[in-house]
Structure 1
Amino acid sequence: MKETAMKKLFSVMGIAALCSTMACSTTHAGNNTQVNPDLDTKTPIKHVVVLFGENVSFDHYFGTYPHAKNPDGEPKFTAKPNTPSVNGLSKELLTNNPNQFNPKRLSRAQAVTDDMDHEYTAEQKAFNGGKMDKFVENTSGGTDKSLVMDYYDGNTVTGLWNYAQNYAMSDNSFNTTFGPSTPGALNLISGQTHGGTGFVNGVKVGDIEENIANGSVIGDPDPHYDNASNTKRAQAAMDGKNVGDLLNKKSVTWGWFQGGFRDTTAKHANIAGQYSTDYNPHHEPFQYYKSTANPDHLPPSSVEKIGHNDQANHQYDLEDFWKAADKGNMPAVSFLKAANYQDGHAGYSDPLDEQHFIVNTINHLQKLPDWKQTAVVLAYDDSDGWYDHVMHNPLVNGSDDLKTDALYGPGDAGKPRLGSYKDRAGFGPRLPLLVISPYAKKNFVDHSLTDQTSILRFIEDNWSLGKIGDYSFDSVAGSMENMFDLNHAPSDKKLFLDPETGQPIKKK
């Protein structure tokens, strides 16, 4: 709502009455009234909550959607009538795949698996110029080389399939570039993996093999501005801007909330009893930028300051998100990162532990008064190297680094289009993307072309932040708005799921 309209409304309703219904805040200087910038949005969405998971390709979770095998002993999934189809695993891909092995269904009992190879170069080789037939040779992990081809269905990732049934999902969304977690996380918040400087044992070295090439981050170095980073690992510092800088400039509240941020030594076990440290520094993208880092992991000075500028500098533990949200102080933009054991990353996490985190988070959000103006975006940082049969061709941006690029042959991943920066080839693998919101379209599959920076673009556009610049992918990102129905009143229906089974909780 424009400020002039707000002033007229103030005169009729009174400031106190208006703020009690709209949760607005004002400051007064004489007769001037300043509207809370959190609420000054281009859409009815006043809160965006991004759940950023780990290491899943689209086919790995949704390849046979909406058809599940439904064996005895596993949560049953039955699709609603007229459920739209997805670009998934056809009968031919399941029985006569061009790779060495055909994809196989993984049961719920096989939720814990080995990690795959998901490096920048390995994924390009797996794509083999778009033939998508060299995954076994290049991205398989562990002893069973056929595992890289395999997939789950709605009897294991039941919660995600039920969210897709009731909200909006994309089957045409991609990793912005090739590679592992850190490039994906950096692209989410800045659309830019160039501008990285490497450090070894605290000494600036520039590029670091397998981590930074030609100033672009292609691996998983730890963030230089995080005192919890491993001093024995390669580290990186990023130049340039990220969305946090843009939000700060507009005084819009925001935060990154990550499991284990407060106590970086805390550990939890996954369903297989395997322990891992909750906090992972290279999953925290804002710690790579000096402007948005909280090196000592300082807590917020108060619950009221969460989302605002203070000693925490917008970097928090997950528990801080709920302290703020439960008090009606949820930031306008929130990025939520699960503790390692619940983030879905193969090797130390799994889809069942991940389901607990996702379902408990969304169940809780739906109970808050802010839910009616909230959009949850469920996205992933990379594919883990899991098989997916789709390549977006032509690439939005190419790269011709002889040492690292291999999509069409040695040193050939097309020509750079977004400036002259090398080692930013993309789009990379196809990833899941869902929107869960009272404004999301229902049982809808979006075929519009999007990528990780489409989330960045939505935030930029909704709060009129402007763009990152410096050849960020946000300048060419597709819009997510087709996943929303913004022209009608929000739905008052809510979907509560059982975190153990992923099935809807029946009302008593």
Structure 2
Amino acid sequence: MKPHSRPVLRPLPILLSLGLAACGSNYAITPSTTGQVIGSYYENAQVCLESATAKLTCDSASTAVRTVADGSYTLDGKGAVLVTVGTDAIRHEAIGDAGTKVTQKLLLRAPAGHSAFVSALSTELAQVMDGNGGDFASASGKLAARIGVSEAGLASDFNKASGDELAKLKAENASVTALIASASAQAAPADALAALNSSLALNNIQTIVVIYAENRGFDNLYGLFPGANGVPGVNPTSTSSYVPQKDIDGSTLPVLPPTWGGMTAAGQSTVITQAQSANLPNKPFQIDDANSPLYLPQSVITRDLVHRFYNNQMQINGGANDKFAAYSDAGGLSMGYYDGSKMQLWDIAKQYALADNLFIGAFGGSFLTHQYLICACAPTYPNADTSVAKGSIAKIDVDANGNFLHLTPSATAPTTVLNGAPAYANDGALTPADSTGMFYAVNTMQPPFQPSSNAPASADSSKLFADTGKANTLPPQTQTNIGDLLSGKNIDWAWYAGAWKDTTALATASARAGSFPNPPNFQFHHQPFNYFANMDPVKAPAYRAAHLRDFDSQFLADASAGKLPPVTFYKPQGNLNQHAGYASVADGDAHIAGVIAQLKKSPQWKNMLVIVTYDENGGFYDHAAPPKGDRWGPGTRVPAILVSPYVKKGLVDHTQYDSASILRAITHRFSLPVLDGLSTRDKALVANGGKPMGDFSAALALVPQE
């Protein structure tokens, strides 16, 4: 079809028919559709009737027209309207101004009978109607309520609105226009439609709750999940074959090494010794198999496993994932998994959605993965080589190009993992200096503010700071984090931590107990914001109190009252977070499932998205190869459960994510600036032949599913 400009020159027969109709003849007048393309006002945009069967394409019987300077158009025929605002269009902020060239293509829609003003908002309505059976009244009412405007305002030229309604409509239009621009870059209309649906689905979410559990790989808990890419050779929907575990020298292990020190943590009623765990076949094994002599139910706490920055990379071994046993201080236990169908969270995942392709944002342990969760960055330690922390700089071996190969073995390290756990010259908390001279903290260091495992210095009368004379006290961090971006837009947020209030009180007591922090069961490096300079307890006590909150005294009360911030993080205390070594699978499962049950009773539930995921794999094996990214990750795959009225029910979501996909979701939903680390990661993925990480919108529907 060939577009033409208004006014429309009609053929003589049509003019005659119009004249005859005016004289009272029986000739029919061709129906028409008129309207205006707004956002600002778009001139020279192409307008047509949209195909009823192929969305985002013109109906084959429709002749396209172009808009004039005020964005108005007249089309022959009736129906839904499709507008293509190309880079040959002109955008006018006000009618009559000179205008500016459009730089990004936009595909705008309007439902049939509601095309007086075609905009990003009418497009949002049309998308919702695609999913609700074409119910305009329902779509309009819900969208107006979510934005906080009248339905009349939603259906008008919002450029002429005033006051609070103008501000809200303009903000929504700007946000949705950005999503439309991104989706419109897709070559195929079907792909653009899918991308737009996914992006708009996030706009229904008003409260994002992140529950950050501990130290479980995907195969470890969900390797048997139906439809998921699970344990090779065990789960029929696994997409891979098992790659046998290798020894340190690269040879295939004849059997798994023993679990050094035994499989169970101290104080457990059931004990599996090192000798009992010897000579297991070289393959994953089920820890809670009642028919196995090594049977450990999910209520029993196993020993901990090493989970550190360089160690994780060595276990992944370029994506082969064949050195988990070789580079584990727990030997064969690293290959264990559970029958997750015994968990309450498994049932929640079946009801809502399970993401089976999410990788930890940064290699290694909880310290770095918590930091990466909030800033997509690694903490810095300037001039570490001349500081009290100089002994914490790791010793590593690199190739001719300076790329990491492995930790430098100690002089007494075994040559085969069958003779003992690996040992290193210095698996320290800090990286060697990079090309800029900067050192980075990649394994556990302590926060500079209380609560910290490092007590206040004797001269600190406030008792609010950690002793900076300790080698493992990290200097206050100044990188931009997600809290900074949210606060910059006056969007409330909070990190709720289990046992936060009690631990803080004990940490700052004048006579600090020698057994601190147990009780309560609290891990200092699980509170990432406490490492940042703008959380200084003397310089910023109000900001700190507003955003670092206690789970036990505040979280459930806030949820019940409908007062959770739009962005809410929750970190369970140690014995409830499923971390091997000090928490059982069963206790953490029951606790987190209980929290979800309470969230579903909240007044905020109808527009809430709950993301349950794990900070890292805890040293447990997973077979899925992480995509190649940047120097920090991504690392081993972990589970993620998505719970919301808007989640596509029963979905196993294969979209590629990492931990910072949480940041992407927050960024996209609240139109925040993009953290540098997110851009760096996605560019690196593409440069290495992969694709950028998702933002969880692929798991969401435009209309509620319950």
Q: TM-score, structure 2 length as denominator?
A: 0.52
- Report how far residue 104 of structure 1 moved: 1.5
Deviations 1:408-467 (CA, angstroms, capped at 9, x unpaired): xxxxxxxxxxxxxxxx2x211111112111111111111121101111011011000111
RMSD of equivalent CA atoms: 3.6
Q: What amino acid does structure 1 have at the position aligned with 2:477?
A: M
Note the C-alpha offset of 1:129: 2.7
- Could you tell me how far apart the structure 1 residues matched to 2:443 and 2:344 are? 31
Measure how far apart 1:95 and its partner are. 8.6
- How far the C-alpha of 1:63 sits from its partner, in A, is 1.2
Contact persistence 1:113–1:350 (CA under 8 A):
yes
Bigger CA radius of gyration: 2
Counterpart selection for 1:291 from 534, 537, 540: 534
Tell me if the contact between 1:446 and 1:482 (Cα under 8 Å) persists in the aligned partners: no
Amino acid at match of 1:479: G
Partner of residue 302, structure 1 = none
Query: Aligned with 1:223: secondary structure?
Result: coil
Is the 2:653–2:699 contact (alpha carbons within 8 Å) kept by the matching residues of 1? no
Structure with more contact order per residue of length (Cα contacts < 8 Å, sep ≥ 6): 1
Moved more, 204-213 or 441-450: 204-213
1:431 aligned residue (619, 632, 638):
638
Aligned ranges 1:187-206 → 2 under 5 Å: 187-197=372-382
Counterpart pick for 2:590 among 356, 362, 367: 356
Distance 1:341 1:163 in 2: 21
> Which residue, 238, 241, 249 being the options, matches 2:480?
241
Matched, 1:258 2:497: yes
Aligned residue type for 1:151 = Y
1:350-499 equivalence runs, <5 A = 350-393=584-627, 395-398=628-631, 424=632, 426-469=633-676, 473=680, 475-476=682-683, 477-487=692-702, 489-492=703-706
For 1:64 and 1:173, how far apart are their aligned partners in 2? 16
In structure 2, the partner of 1:496 is: none
Distance in 1 of aligned mates of 2:605 and 2:219 = 30
CA offset digits 1:240-264 (Å, max 9, x no partner): 1000000000000100000111011
How far, CA to CA, are the matches of 1:357 and 1:332 in structure 2? 23
Moved more, 240-249 or 115-124: 115-124
Q: Aligned residue for 2:314?
A: 125
Letter in 2 for 1:480: D
Q: SS of the counterpart of 1:235?
A: coil
Contact between 1:44 and 1:486, CA under 8 Å: does it hold in 2? no
How many angstroms apart in 2 are the aligned matches of 1:434 and 1:358? 11
Aligned to 1:312, which of 518, 533, 545?
Answer: 545
Q: Where does residue 337 of structure 1 map in the other structure?
A: 571
Q: Distance in 1 between matches of 2:210 and 2:304?
A: 24
Give the distance between the partners of 1:252 and 1:89, measured in 2 at CA: 44
The 8 Å contact of residues 216 and 614 in structure 2, kept in 1 or not, is answered as yes
The answer on whether the counterparts of 1:183 and 1:218 sit within 8 Å (CA) in structure 2 is yes
Match among 84, 104, 115 for residue 285 of structure 2:
104
CA distance in 2, matches of 1:233, 1:340: 24
Q: Structure 1: any 5+ residue segments left out of the alignment?
A: 6-17, 26-30, 67-83, 268-274, 299-308, 399-423, 493-508
Residues 294 and 165 (structure 1 numbering): CA distance in 2 closer, same or farther, change over 3 Å?
Answer: farther
Partner of 2:520: 277
CA distance in 2, matches of 1:258, 1:296: 22
Counterpart for residue 304 of structure 1: none
Q: Is the Cα–Cα contact under 8 Å of residues 228 and 356 in structure 2 kept in the other structure? A: no
Rounded Cα–Cα distance in structure 2 between residues aligned with 1:459 and 1:207: 35
Give, in whole Å, the separation in 2 of the partners of 1:330 and 1:36: 22
Change (3 A) 1:208 1:223: farther
Comparing 55-64 with 203-212, greater Cα deviation is found at 203-212
Contact 2:361 2:658 in 1 (8 A): yes
1:212 partnered with 2:397 = no
The runs of 5 or more residues in structure 2 that have no matched partner are 1-38, 40-118, 120-141, 150-161, 176-199, 247-255, 257-281, 289-295, 395-427, 434-438, 456-469, 507-517, 684-691
Task: Note if contact 1:287-1:295 (Cα within 8 Å) is conserved in structure 2.
Answer: no
- Whether the aligned pair in 1 keeps the contact of 2:392 and 2:430 (CA below 8 Å) is yes
- For 1:295 and 1:475, locate their aligned partners in 2 and report how far apart those are by CA, in whole Å: 38
Change (3 A) 1:315 1:386: same
Deviations 1:179-201 (A, max 9, x none): 1001111111111115345889x
Name the SS for the 2:590 alignment partner.
helix
Q: Percent identity?
A: 29
Correspondent of 1:170 among 355, 361, 366: 355
For residues 428 and 113 of structure 1, the distance between their equivalents in structure 2, rounded to whole angstroms, comes to 23
Q: Give the Cα separation in 2 of the matches to 1:297 and 1:250.
A: 18
Amino acid at match of 1:446: D
Pair 1:472–1:225, CA change in 2 (3 A): farther
* Distance in 2, Cα, partners of 1:284 & 1:472: 25
Indicate whether 1:160 and 2:345 are aligned: yes
Kindly tell me: are residues 317 and 233 of structure 1, through their superposed partners in 2, closer, same or farther at Cα, counting changes over 3 Å?
Answer: farther
Aligned with 2:305 (options 112, 116, 137): 116
Name the CA shift for 1:483/1:257 in 2 (closer, same or farther; >3 Å): same
- How far 1:205 moved relative to its partner? 6.3
- Taking the aligned partners of 1:177 and 1:310, their CA distance within structure 2 comes to 28
Partner of 2:67: none
CA distance in 2, matches of 1:337, 1:297: 22
The two structures have a TM-score, normalised by structure 1, of 0.71
CA drift of 1:154 comes to: 2.7
Q: Does 1:230 align with 2:469?
A: no
Q: 1:397 to 1:159 in 2, by over 3 A?
A: same
CA distance in 1, matches of 2:616, 2:383: 22
Q: Is the 8 A contact 2:209 2:609 kept in 1?
A: yes
Q: What is the SS of the residue equivalent to 1:367?
A: coil
